């Protein structure tokens, strides 16, 4: 097929352990890793453009006269000016739900990291501490069980619901705070106001979208409501957290620890305070990035294009 499909930043999905076959069957696939300024003119006749993080605003659309379709290779789409696309009759799609299980599993990888301290004690063993121990075992910090703890979930979309389900499998109690009001909830999961969730949670996990209302949802005041032994987990968006306030509160030992897979600036500056904070674990936005999730993302991008060609409005953002 002669129609060209361009992926503007294919390196964000990886090349070594996924394949692009589903998209290759739909047209001539061109992968940029990422696109450079001087390469934009190469897309003057390209009708289909896919982007993960590359910005597509009104200025970019004006430079691509053949553009008919923008596919966001993610769920969030704040890097595309949807209104400008709508005015030009350009379809815009996203891909919800592809990483639900991957992110939920990462949340519990982080929780278990702090609860069981396996890395800390592995390092101690590798340094010879166990071999020199007078006892059959030792531990350097308090270890804790998840059973009986309370997990707070702010945002009860697909990922929030999956996190709550996993928490119940660990026999945790779950408090949720959400803009929607579920008519029924599974046993052990209770709807609560935000202050109750903040005050009662042993672990607080953020899964709400980033909006004007949720920007710096976690700030010096809301952190002051949390238990001093609480763990905060953010796999949502960096700006949900006032990072300067969090750094201060952690160093004052007013909450126990923070796991962040996202930061306000990505990639962050080398002197970012949370990276240097001894009470944090920071990973480079990888909660979503299992091989299965990335392959699912590519395959569903192809499904979106096929639906568009058939006149269907699958995952359309411009309608």
CA atoms within 13 A on the CB side of 189: 22
Superfamily of domain 100-282: NAD(P)-binding Rossmann-like Domain (3.40.50.720)
> Which among 243, 194, 192, 201 is positioned nearest to 220, based on CA atoms?
243
Q: Which residues contact 77 (CB under 8 A, 6 or more apart)?
A: 92, 94, 317
Q: What is the pLDDT of residue 212?
A: 94
Number of alpha helices (DSSP H) and beta strands (DSSP E) in the chain: 11, 12
**Which candidate in 237, 294, 296, 300 is catalytic?**
237
**Domains 4-98+291-309 and 100-282 alike in fold:** yes
Q: What is the pLDDT of residue 180?
A: 87
User: Would you tell me how many other CB atoms lie within 10 Å of the CB of residue 37?
Assistant: 6
| Residue 237 is among the residues annotated as catalytic for this protein | yes
Q: What is the pLDDT of residue 11?
A: 95
Question: Which residues of the chain register pLDDT less than 70?
Answer: 1
Strand extents, DSSP E, the chain:
4-7, 28-31, 48-51, 69-72, 91-93, 150-154, 173-177, 189-191, 203-206, 231-234, 257-260, 280-282
Q: What is the pLDDT of residue 250?
A: 98
Q: By the 8 A CB rule, do 217 and 154 touch?
A: yes
CA atoms within 13 A on the CB side of 228: 4
CATH number of 4-98+291-309: 3.40.50.720
Report field, pTM of the whole predicted structure over 0.75: yes
**Which candidate in 199, 285, 303, 316 is catalytic?**
285
- Tell me the C-alpha to C-alpha distance, in Å, between residue 10 and each of 35, 45, 115, 144: 9, 20, 36, 41
Strand partners, 71: 50, 93
Q: Is the peptide bond before 192 cis (omega within 30 degrees of 0)?
A: no
Q: What is the pLDDT of residue 173?
A: 98
Q: What is the pLDDT of residue 2?
A: 74
Q: What is the pLDDT of residues 225-261, one digit of tens each?
A: 999 999 999 999 999 999 999 999 999 999 999 999 9
| Residue 113 is among the residues annotated as catalytic for this protein | no
The CA-based dihedral angle spanning residues 249, 254, 257, 263, taken in that order and rounded to the nearest 10 degrees:
-20
Q: What is the pLDDT of residue 183?
A: 85
Q: Does an H or E element contain 118, and which? A: helix 118-126
Q: Does an H or E element contain 169, and which? A: helix 158-169
Q: What is the pLDDT of residue 121?
A: 97
Rounded Cα gap, residues 67 and 48, in angstroms: 6
| Residue 105 is among the residues annotated as catalytic for this protein | no
DSSP letter at 110? H
Percent of the chain scoring above 70 in pLDDT: 100
Q: Phi, psi at residue 100, to the nearest 5°?
A: -55, -50
- Enumerate the domain spans of the chain: 4-98+291-309, 100-282
């Amino acid at each position: 097929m002669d129609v060209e499909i361009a992926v503007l930043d294919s390196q964000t999905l990886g090349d070594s352990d996924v394949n692009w076959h589903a998209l290759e069957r739909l047209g001539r696939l061109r992968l940029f890793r990422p696109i450079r300024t001087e390469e934009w003119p190469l897309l003057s006749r390209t009708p289909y453009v896919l982007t993960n993080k590359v910005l597509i605003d009104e200025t970019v659309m004006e430079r691509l006269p053949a553009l008919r379709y923008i596919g966001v290779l993610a769920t969030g789409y704040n890097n595309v000016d949807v209104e400008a696309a709508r005015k030009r009759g350009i379809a815009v799609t996203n891909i919800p739900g592809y990483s639900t299980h991957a992110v939920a599993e990462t949340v519990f990888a982080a929780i278990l990291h702090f609860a069981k301290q396996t890395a800390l004690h592995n390092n101690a063993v590798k340094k010879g501490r166990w071999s020199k121990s007078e006892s059959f075992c030792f531990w350097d910090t308090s270890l804790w069980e998840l059973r009986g703890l309370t997990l707070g979930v702010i945002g009860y979309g697909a990922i929030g619901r999956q996190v709550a389900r996993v928490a119940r499998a660990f026999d945790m109690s779950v408090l949720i705070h959400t803009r929607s009001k579920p008519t029924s909830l599974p046993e052990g999961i209770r709807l609560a106001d935000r202050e109750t969730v903040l005050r009662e949670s042993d672990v607080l996990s953020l899964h709400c979208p980033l909006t004007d209302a949720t920007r710096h949802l976690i700030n010096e005041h809301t952190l002051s409501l949390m238990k001093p032994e609480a763990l905060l987990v953010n796999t949502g968006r960096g700006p949900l957290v006032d990072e300067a306030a969090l750094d201060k509160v952690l160093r004052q030992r007013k909450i126990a620890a923070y796991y962040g897979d996202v930061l306000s600036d990505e990639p962050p500056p080398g002197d970012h305070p949370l990276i240097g904070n001894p009470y944090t674990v920071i990973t480079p936005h990888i909660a979503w990035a299992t091989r299965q999730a990335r392959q699912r993302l590519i395959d569903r991008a192809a499904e979106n294009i096929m639906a568009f060609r058939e006149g269907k409005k699958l995952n359309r953002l411009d309608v």
